[in-house]
Structure 1
Amino acid sequence: MDTRPPIFAIRFSLTVLMALGWLRAAEPPGSLKALLAEALSNNPEILASQKRYEAARQRPGQVSSLPDPMFSPGFASNGRPWPGAGLGKEPTSNIGFMVSQEVPWPGKRKLQGDMAVKEYEAEFQNYTQAQLSVVSRIKQAYYRRAYAFEVVEVLDRNIDLLRRLLKITEARYSVGKAAQQDVFKAQTQISILATKRIQLEREKRAREAEIVSLVNRAPGSSLEKPDALLPQEMKVGLEELYEAAKQNSPMLLKDEKMIQRAELAVNMARKEYYPDYTIKAGYFNMGSMPPMYQLSADFKIPLYFFRKQRPAVTEQSQTLAASRRDYEASNQSLHFRIKDDQLMAETSNQLIKLYSQTVIPQSSLALESSLSSYETGSVDFLTVLMNYVTVVEYEMNYYEELQNYYLAVSRLEEMTGRSLLP
């Protein structure tokens, strides 16, 4: 029985590894590609799944082999209860042995082996899914950590700007040109941004711990600062994503293997109507008399087929129907999730362009203009503060949409089994 993985599985595994940077040149430590390569080598979930797959590959040869033969030595004596008593004198005294071999009905062993092959091919898809899942989780944690770094920089920059505004307000208040509440509002806004910064620092440390766990480093290990989040275009349409999922999704491919396994199980249940048999051969020494030889065959009679074989066929037929429904459900769920994440990526990409090209530049100009006017007393403090809060909010929204875009793409890569970004 050939227990090598199927050719399509090898090709798919290599494609996944290349897409994830496994076969590429060495990357700087701490980069996303380096972390992915490290996880593929060290992650316990992936290694455990690999071992389960390798264990499953050993089953086809076992289940398709003949049962172990039986060797039965013995004797028959007359007059005394020990071997050889009456040997050569009595025709029923002898010393010899029997060899028996149970033989399943033709076709059963092949069906059992083929079923085991489908099981290990399904286990290979579990192994591939483990790789894709770990990679997706690392990417998502990496992008969330990068988002936290970017927004902390935004907050630091705008807190400095707000402190500048606070000094101006305090100076104006000291000469009676500003209300005391303006000073309090500026101080309150600084405190609000400080609370957001504390939350983001927690997010940075939490995502760092998650990545360290996924790459199987020692707890408490530190990571380098992630690369800056920059816009990238995913130039893959929805139909291409559907087709890639159909070709590569471990979830669908596993369900296909389980359908094929269930079809073989139905045939196996039908084969149980045919009897297995045991062939026996023996040699018996009769002493001075001529030796005796024996050859016989025992057949199992499926007499109780109405309670065993018939329900077994029904059981396996229902299991086959269930496997087909499982595939249908997985396919529908996968199409929905792909559509949902594709819409999220598309929407986030549009918002990224809108924020970067229009909203943030315009709101920044409005803030700069209001700051200059406030210093000269042309506008009130509330106008400046509203413009300031708007700029901060839009900058944070920009990076949030960048994060959402990368998270959606990461999930799409997991579902389609292919790299979607340059």
Structure 2
Amino acid sequence: MKTLHTFALLLLLAVSPSMVWAEEGKPPAEDLSRLIATALDKNPELKSSQARWQMFANRVKQASALEDPMFMFKLQNLMAKEPFAFDKDPQTSKVIGISQQLPFWGKRAIKQEVAQYEAESYKWAIEERKLELARMVKETYYQIYAVDKFLQIIDKNLQILTDFITIAESKYSVGQGVQQDIYKAGLEKSKMLDMQITLKQQRRSLEANLNYLLYRPDTTPIGRIPDFDLPKPSLTAERLKEAAFAKRPQVKSLISLANKGDASRRLAQKEYYPDFNLSFEYMFREAVNTEMIKDPGDNMFTVGVTFNLPLQRERRQAMVAEATSETNMSLEELNGLKNSITYSIHDILAQLERRQKLVELYKGGIIPQAEQSLESAIISYRVNKVDFLTLLDGRVNLFNYERELYDSQAEYMMKLAQLEALVGGELPGPAGQTPALTAVK
């Protein structure tokens, strides 16, 4: 019986830390690309950003349109004692007229330009929001992956501790062990159960967060996250920086705002020139034939132009200064963003390299060695060459190393998602045409 327990424990330890659930009853695998597509299609915050862009896009045509012409009708010089008598005095007439406000040459085109650049900034804000949303979906996805792997490790360790208890009880029953070993194994098992409860709560929270991003009921179950290889960026930091400056929507948004500020400055300078109002009036007169006045009542018309006098120079100087400050603000924000991108690229690449090396180290060296060490400790414990604490230490070490492995894998993919969002989408390849990702086994 003792030999059977030992053999079962060694067989369990021989299973790779990347073991998967049995095919029968296994939850369906989640497709990351489908989850991202759902989020981009349904997320209400993204739809709100799209509606805001449409709102500003519809202002472009408004900005260049002329003001509506003004129609005028009036009864002129009516006599107070006979207000509806039009044939008593030659000055009495019926007048219709029309007028049109005309801005100084070039103002309409610049106003349209200002509105166009502002609308473009909101359009690029949508693309930036899409990148952020995709990044958040990916990060949550890989966090769920790590939690699932931790739960699998805990399930495996609970079985190991159960077998430890069985071995300790067997040794105690024949007088070769102490009861304290049984209690220690039971305490370790209780700690594992405590971690299991916490991890299950974390998974429920992560499921709720992912469903929130996808705008679907928070009780929608999240299936199994499949295993993956680690893709490795093949571009240098300098190439990634160039790609980010060329593709990042937030960079383009700030460039649009800087262009808007420049156009606003040119528009403010146009305010030093007057706007015009053209008018035309036509006067209908009736013949007057009285004892004192005889007038044939010929119709008349009036053509006129009026314009404002741009004398308020302080106000116009302030308008130019405001537009200049707007441009400077956008340019400095752009410089700050580029500086942040440069730093973040170097930082993320360093973290990716560290996580990649850790994964290779854990898979190729530490975990196999820890498994062998634990197997040796089990055998030695059975023949009383090591104490029970050595056995527990070996299990704890293997448990921690396996957790670090899956944590490094998940963290690597999350950092890669951050790098893609930083650069502005899929990473360009060495020639700028193929993806700059190569799989690392």
Give TM-score, length-normalised by structure 1. Answer: 0.89
Amino acid at match of 1:48: S
Shift of 1:191: 1.4
Q: Secondary structure at the match of 1:232?
A: strand
Change (3 A) 1:29 1:153: closer
The 10-residue stretch of structure 1 (202-211 or 219-228) with the greater mean CA deviation from structure 2: 219-228
Structure-1 separation of matches of 2:127 and 2:228: 28
Change (3 A) 1:48 1:83: farther
Corresponding position of 2:322:
315
Corresponding position of 2:307:
299
Shift of 1:339: 2.2
Corresponding position of 2:146:
147
| Contact 1:76-1:83 within 8 A present in 2 as well | no
Aligned ranges for residues 95-106 of structure 1 at < 5 Å?
95-106=94-105
Change (3 A) 1:83 1:338: farther
Q: Secondary structure at the match of 1:218?
A: coil
Shift of 1:409: 0.6
Corresponding position of 2:78:
78
Aligned ranges for residues 28-67 of structure 1 at < 5 Å?
30-67=30-67
Change (3 A) 1:161 1:98: same
Structure-2 separation of matches of 1:82 and 1:378: 131
Structure-2 separation of matches of 1:204 and 1:273: 64
The 10-residue stretch of structure 1 (333-342 or 390-399) with the greater mean CA deviation from structure 2: 333-342
Aligned ranges for residues 245-260 of structure 1 at < 5 Å?
245-260=244-259
Q: Which runs of 4+ in 1 moved over 6 A?
A: none
Residue number among 326, 332, 336 corresponding to 2:339 in the alignment: 332
Is 1:179 the counterpart of 2:178? The answer is yes
Q: Secondary structure at the match of 1:71?
A: strand
Q: Secondary structure at the match of 2:157?
A: helix
Shift of 1:351: 0.7
Q: Secondary structure at the match of 2:233?
A: coil
Shift of 1:111: 0.5
Structure-1 separation of matches of 2:78 and 2:67: 35
Q: Secondary structure at the match of 2:258?
A: helix
Structure-1 separation of matches of 2:332 and 2:106: 28
Q: Secondary structure at the match of 2:410?
A: helix
Aligned ranges for residues 7-18 of structure 1 at < 5 Å?
none
Give me the CA root mean square deviation: 1.7
Corresponding position of 2:224:
225
- CA deviation digits over 1:216-270, x for unaligned, max 9? 1123122222222443333333222212211111111111111111111111111
Q: Secondary structure at the match of 1:219?
A: coil
Change (3 A) 1:386 1:314: same
| Contact 2:144-2:206 within 8 A present in 1 as well | yes
| Contact 1:84-1:93 within 8 A present in 2 as well | no
Identity %, equivalent residues: 28
| Contact 2:75-2:94 within 8 A present in 1 as well | yes
The 10-residue stretch of structure 1 (105-114 or 193-202) with the greater mean CA deviation from structure 2: 193-202
Shift of 1:29: 7.9
Q: Secondary structure at the match of 2:303?
A: strand
Residue number among 363, 368, 372 corresponding to 1:361 in the alignment: 368
Corresponding position of 1:412:
419
The 10-residue stretch of structure 1 (370-379 or 348-357) with the greater mean CA deviation from structure 2: 370-379
Amino acid at match of 1:38: T
Is 1:345 the counterpart of 2:352? The answer is yes
Amino acid at match of 2:309: I
Structure-2 separation of matches of 1:202 and 1:355: 27
Change (3 A) 1:29 1:177: closer
Structure-2 separation of matches of 1:83 and 1:271: 47
Structure-2 separation of matches of 1:81 and 1:415: 82
| Contact 1:172-1:178 within 8 A present in 2 as well | yes
Amino acid at match of 1:375: R
- CA deviation digits over 1:56-83, x for unaligned, max 9? 2111110111111111111114323786
Change (3 A) 1:83 1:317: farther
Amino acid at match of 2:198: Q
Corresponding position of 1:194:
193
Amino acid at match of 1:371: I
Corresponding position of 1:22:
none
Shift of 1:397: 0.4
Amino acid at match of 1:67: E
Length, aligned pairs only: 393
Corresponding position of 2:24:
none
Aligned ranges for residues 18-29 of structure 1 at < 5 Å?
none
| Contact 1:344-1:404 within 8 A present in 2 as well | no
Change (3 A) 1:174 1:217: same
Q: Secondary structure at the match of 2:278?
A: strand
Corresponding position of 1:170:
169
Q: Secondary structure at the match of 2:161?
A: helix
Unaligned runs of 5+ in 1: 1-27
Shift of 1:202: 1.2
Shift of 1:175: 2.9
Structure-2 separation of matches of 1:326 and 1:129: 16
| Contact 1:141-1:211 within 8 A present in 2 as well | yes
Shift of 1:84: 4.3
Q: Secondary structure at the match of 1:281?
A: strand
Unaligned runs of 5+ in 2: 1-27, 288-296, 428-436
Shift of 1:88: 3.8
